[in-house]
Amino acid sequence: MNEVPLKFVEYQKIIEPRSVKGQFRNIKTIILILAFVTYFLLPWLPWSRDIGPNQAVIFDLSSHKYYLFNLVLHPQDILSLAILMVFAAAFLFFITTIAGRVFCGFFCFQTIWTDAFRLIERLIQGDRVTRLRLKKQKWNFEKVRKVGLTTALWLALAFWSGLTFTLYWSEAGQLLVDFFTGQAPLAAYMCTAILTTTTFLAAGMAKDVICMHICPYSRFQSAMFDENTAIVSYDKVRGEGENGRAKPLKTLKTQEDRTKAGVGDCIDCNYCVQVCPMGIDIRDGLQVACIHCGLCIDACDNIMDKQGWAHGLVSFSSENALAKKKTSRFGIRTIGYGLASLIAGAFLVFSVVNSAKLTVDIAHVRSPLYVVLSDGSIQNSYKFKFYNMTSKPATFDLSVEGLPNAKVDIGKLKHIELKASRGLRVSVRVRQASADVKRNANQPIRFKLTPIKGEFEEAIIHPSQFITP
Ligand code: SF4
Ligand code: SF4
């Protein structure tokens, strides 16, 4: 989108957006409510499990397990996490090529929390004009009361946001009691304090400054746009005609009068600028600071309704659509990111569904590589590490294949018995009688775990080697 000028917004001390009603405002409010309900209530949602905490979502640091409803992730599932990140990035790029920065405008934590902080501010201090007046007036009882109450409520929301995040990392009920009775771990207090401070500063004090000057995503997102990307756009041809914008003076009230005078439909009311949380004028073209929240569309639609004119002077529209050219929703870039999302999504589902229920690490003891016993037989030693990732105990018989007449010794144990969701280390020795030994060889062997009890049905084979003199 080379022809569209990109402008960096100068730092402004205060952006005091005006409230607005409309479809995009409603969508943002619904997303805010859903996000808050999910975030604040999820740690309190009970969940029944055979083994593990009865909390639907908990990142249990003590047992190194992450419980997401019926899904239990172990540190060994790091690959799934990596695929999830790739999927999220590809999907985000896919959405950006279709509809610009809608993630920023509707779903980003910074936007959602800033929206909530602004709502509190508006409820206490009033709408834009009243707030601007309050900011300019000298400190008196009214100003102290309003600013104090706003700050107190902001701090309360920031604290509860920080504490809720901490509650995800342990059993919420117990941690909450411990937290307020001074019994919680130091990390819980530190985590809550850091998040309270950062939430207060980012959503309450910095607000749009984060999006404009700190978030790196805004810097490269516009590189993903093309002529078909639906972005928030001002229809300059309709808005300005041949002679530009004009207030609806007596002689310019109707569209017919305005067409005759060569002016467009923009009545230069500035409502779209006043509602913008980033303080920009969309009529100046696409700007890096625009988070595609759609509030200027709502504002302009309200004005068009009052004038009795059609919506769409400001709208989600592509460069091609504005130029009345053919618009294709799926350009090369969109198809590419879409395919990448699909592939990453398929890998993610595959890796979660097929994640190993049992991990087995075998280390051949190197020092010594082998031992010649008094009867001439050869012995190799191995260190086994098992991890049973199921929620049921499991028992296996351990044997070895590929080594004629070899015997497996697991000390005092009869079988490998694994507790549910637990690991086990076992020292294993494999012996072969002197007559059967193939000299001077590194023989490939296979350890076979035959299930006796538990969720496992098929034998599990792991390759290793047997070293002889
Ligand atoms: S210009 Fe419009 S879409 Fe962009 S940030 Fe401002 S109000 Fe939101
Ligand atoms: S709200 Fe619409 S009519 Fe008013 S200034 Fe913005 S674009 Fe023009």
What predicted TM-score, i.e. pTM, was given to this entire model? Answer: 0.81
The closest-lying atom of ligand 2 relative to the alpha carbon of residue 296 is 1
How far apart are alpha carbons 58 and 64 in whole angstroms?
A: 11
Q: How far is the CA of 264 from the centre of ligand 1 (A)?
A: 21
- 140 CA distance to ligand 1 centroid (A)? 35
How much helix, strand and coil, in percent to the nearest 5, is found in the chain? 45, 20, 35
Q: Of the candidates 291, 193, 218, 230, which has an alpha carbon nearest to the alpha carbon of residue 98?
A: 230
283 lines ligand 1 (CB under 6 A): no
CA-to-CA distance for 273 and 296, rounded, in angstroms? 7
Asked if residues 361 and 385 have their Cβ atoms less than 8 Å apart, the reply is yes
Tokens coding 27: 């969508």
Ligand 1 in reach of 124 Cβ (< 6 A): no
Does residue 360 sit in helix, strand or coil? strand
Q: Where are the domains of the chain?
A: 23-77+102-221, 358-467
Burial annotation 311-327 (CB, 10 A radius, 16+ → b, else e): bbbbbbbbbebbeeeeb
List pocket residues of ligand 2, CB cut-off 6 Å: 234, 239, 266-272, 283, 299-300, 303, 313-314
Which of 313, 317, 322 to probe ligand 2 with, by most ligand atoms within 8 A of CB? 313
Distances in whole angstroms, Cα of residue 278 to Cα of each of 98, 222, 267, 289: 22, 16, 22, 7
Question: Which pLDDT score, from 0 to 100, does residue 13 have?
Answer: 58
Which atom of ligand 1 lies nearest, measured to the CA of 275?
A: 7
Residue 104 C-alpha to ligand 2 middle, in angstroms? 23
- How many CA atoms lie within 13 Å of 446's alpha carbon, on the beta-carbon side? 8
Asked whether the beta carbons of 160 and 153 are under 8 A apart, the reply is no
pLDDT at 161: 98
Nearest CA to ligand 1 atom 3: 292
Per-residue pLDDT of the chain (469 residues; tens, 9 = 90+): 544 444 444 444 568 999 999 999 999 999 999 999 999 999 999 998 777 789 999 998 877 788 899 888 877 778 888 999 999 999 999 999 998 899 999 999 999 999 999 999 999 999 999 999 999 999 999 999 999 999 999 999 999 999 999 999 999 999 999 999 999 999 999 999 999 999 999 999 999 889 888 888 877 777 788 888 899 999 999 999 999 999 999 889 999 999 999 999 999 999 999 999 999 999 999 888 899 999 999 999 999 999 999 999 999 998 888 888 888 777 788 899 999 999 999 999 988 887 778 889 899 998 899 999 999 999 999 999 998 888 789 999 999 999 999 999 999 999 999 988 788 999 999 999 989 888 877 899 999 999 998 888 889 999 999 999 8
Residue 282 Cβ inside 6 Å of ligand 1? The answer reads yes
Residue 319: both structure tokens together: 């460069």
212 lines ligand 1 (CB under 6 A): no
Rounded Cα gap, residues 227 and 97, in angstroms? 10
Closest ligand 1 atom, residue 105 Cα: 8
- Cα 219 versus chain centre, distance: 19
CATH class of 358-467: mainly beta
Please tell me the number of the ligand nearest to residue 264's CA. 2
Instruction: Determine the distance separating the centroid of ligand 1 and the alpha carbon of 290, expressed in angstroms.
Output: 5
- Take atom 6 of ligand 1 and give the residue whose Cα is closest: 276
Residue nearest to atom 3 of ligand 2 (CA): 266
**Which residue CA neighbors atom 1 of ligand 2 most closely?**
300
Tokens at 294, concatenated: 């759609």
What spacing in Å lies between the alpha carbon of 46 and ligand 1's midpoint? 40
Contact between residue 317 and residue 253 where contact means Cβ atoms under 8 Å apart:
no
Q: Which residues contact 78 (CB under 8 A, 6 or more apart)?
A: none
Closest ligand to C-alpha of residue 211 is 1
Q: How far is CA 135 from CA 18, 122, 205, in A?
A: 15, 13, 14
**Of 426, 406, 401, 429, nearest to 416 (Cα)?**
426
Q: Whose CA is closest to 110, among 210, 42, 27, 32?
A: 210
Q: Which of 18, 232, 273, 316 to mutate to test the pocket of ligand 1 (most atoms within 8 A of CB)?
A: 232
Q: Give the three-state DSSP class for 378.
A: strand
Buried (b) or exposed (e) across 41-65, using 16+ Cβ within 10 A?
ebbeeeeeeeebbebbbbebeeeeb
Ligand nearest to the CA of 9: 1
d(CA 126, CA 19): 10
Report the alpha-carbon distance of residue 92 to residue 98 in Å, rounded: 10
- DSSP lists the bridge partners of residue 68 as 57, 71
Q: Which residues of 146-159 are buried (b: 16+ CB within 10 A; e: fewer)?
A: bbeebbebbeebbb
- Give first-to-last CA distance, the chain, whole Å: 71
